[in-house]
Amino acid sequence: MRIVDPFLAEMDQEAKATRRLLERLPEDKLSWKPHPKSMSLGKLGMHLATINGAIAGMAAKDSFDMPPPPQPEPTTKAEILAAFEKSLTDAKSLLNQVDDARAMANWSMNMGGKPMMTMPRAAVYRVIMCSHQYHHRGQLTVYLRLLDVPIPSVYGPSADENPWAK
């Protein structure tokens, strides 16, 4: 088993819950924000949708210079869902090219040419790709709750949906 194989399996498993959440985005509320300092619902959805591919792309290089390019505001749920599917495909393709030596080689995030953090590429997959995604997925559940959108099952029953109760 390669070091990246558990990340690929986790990506497939977690994509199901992420997709269910993104499918619930109310298209007429994509510009909604819970607070003036918050991202809009659409921007949060697009950020969540593109994390896997974006981070896998950043980690494919030896370093990445901050800040990342700004993401445009999406205008449709279909745009966000298409970006999610492309991101998954891109991330899987990139991770499948990583051998164990590359997975354990250091990667750096820089700002103004100065390293902000350096870690093995495998840690980038765990901390910046996976954990970052789960953080924003949780954030999206709060946005949806505030908009009174039923929350789908993520790891088990939600207050709105129990996939095991029949």
How does pLDDT run across 26-83, given as a tens digit for each residue? 999 999 999 999 999 999 999 999 999 999 999 999 998 887 778 889 999 999 999 9
pLDDT at 166: 67
State the chain's mean pLDDT as an integer.
95
- Could you give the residue ranges of the DSSP H alpha helices within 5-76? 5-23, 41-59
The fourth-level CATH superfamily of domain 5-25+39-146 is dinb family like domain (1.20.120.450)
153-159 mean pLDDT: 92
Provide the percentage of residues in the chain whose pLDDT is more than 90: 87
100-107 mean pLDDT: 97
pLDDT at 164: 84
Q: Where are the domains of the chain?
A: 5-25+39-146
Rg (CA), the chain: 17
CA distances to 45, 51, 86 from 80, rounded to whole Å, are: 7, 12, 10
State pTM to two decimals. Answer: 0.94
